[in-house]
């Protein structure tokens, strides 16, 4: 399935947890905007934009007289955690210190949105032909050089942002051959130089190749399995995730979800065989489909591939009783399904194949 357009956060969401990503980008789960960590990130980015827009107008930081707490007030929220209040103060102070040492920001642009199609042609943000897109905090064009700054309120990490952003920049600025991209770790700006990357146009084909390979992997997924990780505690998906009670059941539940999705797919194939190739017969006033021996074995192969709930699936297909008995007998000889174990609203499924 295609999930165009792809942003760094969307690709990393599918890498981190395909299950949660499929819910969010399938519009089945809203992003949680009430967490302190999300509030802090949004408020700091808004604060940075206000500072730079003010500098663009020719005012000094002193003349702007911007209160860091004004952005929290605009969001109409209050931080619940004392730790996050302290964290917000630190980030706001470091932001002001960093901006005060970069006078060139008076010529910069904020919140630059770039979207391109598969041929790297710039398109509108919501264009249906969009393939890659990204929103950059600060972009500065100076002396045939592009500087991109991205504020980080958490710990920076190497990821698809430092792969996709250069592709977007060189697609939009055709006259630029070199760009510098910096993550600004507001939690500790002493480490700023650690997060600086230099790119030239010759690197773009290789970067595109990396992105295209990952996108193909995402689009080939037929089952979006949960993947418990350190981000789960800050996710609003935790209340509906099959792993919310126990992380140790990852393999068991992943296997179950895989078979469940596979069952839906293969069950449709079985119905196709019965409906298209079966012969309509009547028994005691009820109509059934009678199938040939070869088709019976096709169904047996499909049911073996399904694994779990194969006999129950068979009961939902209107085949003759004789066919049902023959198929179910053959299946039971080969596959044994353990009973479902229910504990603390947690379901565990296991499949055993008889040797």
For 185-210, the pLDDT digits (tens) are 999 877 777 788 899 999 999 999 99
- HEC string for 267-329: HHHHHHHHHHHCEEEEECCEEEEECCHHHHHHHHHHHHHHCCCHHHHHHCCCECHHHHHHHHH
The pLDDT tens digits for 258-282 are: 555 555 666 666 666 666 666 655 5
Structural domains in the chain, sorted by start: 8-219 (3.90.320), 250-353 (no CATH)
| Buried b or exposed e, range 145-179, using 16+ CB within 10 angstroms | ebbbbbbbbeebeeebbbbbbbbbbbbbbeeeeeb
Percentages of the chain per state (helix, strand, coil), in multiples of 5: 50, 20, 30
Over the stretch 144-191, which tens digit does the pLDDT of each residue have? 899 999 999 988 888 899 999 999 999 999 899 899 999 999 998 777
Predicted TM-score of the model (pTM)? 0.68
Q: Give the containing element (helix H, strand E) for 152.
A: strand 145-152
Contact between residue 76 and residue 33 where contact means Cβ atoms under 8 Å apart: no
315: its two tokens: 């009961």
Q: Can you read off the two tokens belonging to residue 302?
A: 């499909």
Q: What angle do CA 131, 139, 24 make, to 5 degrees?
A: 40
- C-alpha R_g of the chain: 28
Task: Report CA 337 to chain centroid distance, whole Å.
Answer: 33
68 pLDDT band, cuts 50/70/90, is confident
Task: Convert the pLDDT of each residue in 36-47 to its tens digit.
Answer: 888 899 999 999
Query: What tokens does 350 get?
Result: 């296991």
């Amino acid at each position: 399935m295609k999930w165009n357009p792809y942003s760094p956060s969307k690709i990393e969401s599918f890498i981190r947890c395909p299950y949660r990503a499929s819910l969010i980008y399938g519009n089945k789960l809203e992003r949680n905007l009430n967490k302190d960590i999300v509030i802090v990130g949004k408020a700091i980015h808004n604060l940075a934009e206000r500072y730079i827009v003010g500098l663009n107008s020719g005012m000094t930081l002193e003349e702007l007289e911007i209160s860091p707490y004004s952005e929290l007030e605009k969001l109409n929220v209050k931080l619940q955690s004392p730790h996050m209040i302290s964290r917000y103060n630190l980030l706001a102070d470091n932001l002001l210190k960093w901006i005060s040492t970069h006078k060139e920001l008076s010529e910069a642009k904020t919140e630059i949105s770039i979207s391109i199609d598969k041929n790297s042609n710039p398109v509108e943000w919501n264009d249906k032909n969009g393939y890659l897109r990204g929103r950059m905090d600060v972009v500065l064009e100076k002396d045939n050089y592009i500087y991109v700054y991205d504020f980080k309120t958490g710990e920076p990490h190497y990821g698809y942002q430092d792969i996709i952003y250069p592709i977007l920049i060189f697609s939009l600025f055709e006259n630029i051959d070199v760009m510098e991209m910096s993550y600004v770790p507001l939690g500790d700006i002493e480490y700023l130089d650690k997060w600086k990357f230099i790119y030239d146009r010759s690197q773009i084909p290789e970067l595109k190749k990396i992105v295209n390979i990952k996108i193909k992997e995402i689009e080939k997924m037929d089952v979006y399995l949960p993947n418990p990780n350190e981000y789960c505690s800050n996710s609003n998906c935790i209340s509906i995730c099959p792993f919310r009670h126990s992380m140790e059941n990852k393999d068991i539940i992943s296997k179950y979800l895989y078979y469940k999705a596979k069952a839906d797919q293969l069950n449709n194939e079985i119905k196709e065989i019965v409906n298209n190739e079966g012969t309509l017969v009547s028994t005691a006033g009820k109509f059934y489909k009678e199938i040939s021996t070869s088709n019976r074995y096709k169904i047996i192969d499909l049911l073996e591939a399904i694994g779990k709930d194969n006999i129950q699936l068979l009961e939902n297909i209107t085949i003759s009783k004789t066919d049902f008995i023959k198929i179910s007998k053959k299946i039971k000889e080969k596959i044994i399904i353990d009973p479902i174990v229910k504990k603390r609203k947690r379901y565990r499924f296991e499949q055993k194949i008889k040797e």
